[in-house]
Copies of this chain bind each other. A is one copy, B any other.
Amino acid sequence: MLATVDQHDDTSPEIGGIAVDRLRSIIERVERLEEERKALSGDIKDIFAEAKSAGFDVRTIKQILKLRRLEPSAIEEQETLLDIYRRALGM
């Protein structure tokens, strides 16, 4: 469970059997990437707000984004199935 370092590697101090510099580097890199990811989420939110104030329906845009992740053949298959089930249920 514990990451240890060679006792003679004096560039990387060790506390309680932990390679401190390595641990610190891991934590700081994750924090940096998480911050960038948070910023991107904020940017995406801003675009949806822009879309809304331009009169677009954000819910529909999100459905479009979902459809664009699928192959056209997969979209068609899903729509056919949904149609069959709806007719079967009288919806």
Interface residues of A (CB under 8 A from B): 1-4, 15-20, 22-24, 26-27, 29-31, 33-34, 36-37, 40-41, 43-44, 47-48, 50-51, 54-57, 59-61, 63-65, 67-68, 78, 81-82, 84-89, 91
Copies in the complex: 4
Residues in B neighbouring A85, C-beta threshold 8 A:
18, 23, 57, 60-61, 64
In the complex, A30 Cα to B31 Cα: how many Å? 23
In the complex, A33 Cα to B31 Cα: how many Å? 19
Question: Which applies to chain A's interface (DSSP): helix, strand, loop or mixed?
Answer: helix
- B27 near A37 with CB under 8 A, answer no
- B1 near A89 with CB under 8 A, answer no
